[in-house]
Amino acid sequence: MAPGDIDDFVGTYTLTVANSPSKSSSSSATGLGAIGIAVSGSVIYNDEEGPGIPLDNAAGSLDFNGAHTGPQSYHYHLEPISFSDDDSNLIGVISDGFSYMVESVIQRELTQQI
């Protein structure tokens, strides 16, 4: 069961990104909520289900694309394999302006451990 209901949601997301992003000298954690937008139009969230709650706790609510609903939006937490299956296809753009693509040996190794 998904953690949210979007039946009555009417809204939009606006994502402003730099057209010439540059790598920062230090990294920082992303916040909760939308951190990017996928080529499908759905938003991208980070790898947490909530404040300090690992995504593992939501595994049962994720669909084939590593996404679910709530709060008020269908959103991806993992690589949406219906349009990117461990390849170099563009998945979306993150709010820092960088493209989001996956070509991940790490993700494959994690899947094999499960």
Contacts of 40 (CB under 8 A, 6+ apart): 80, 83, 92
pTM given for the model: 0.73
Rounded CA-CA distance 43/33 in Å is 9
Q: Write the pLDDT tens digit of every residue in 41-100.
A: 888 888 888 888 888 888 888 998 889 987 768 889 888 888 887 777 788 888 888 777
In single-letter form, the type of residue at position 114 comes to I
- Residue 29, helix vs strand vs coil: coil
In single-letter form, the type of residue at position 55 comes to L
Domain residues of the chain, as ranges? Answer: 36-113
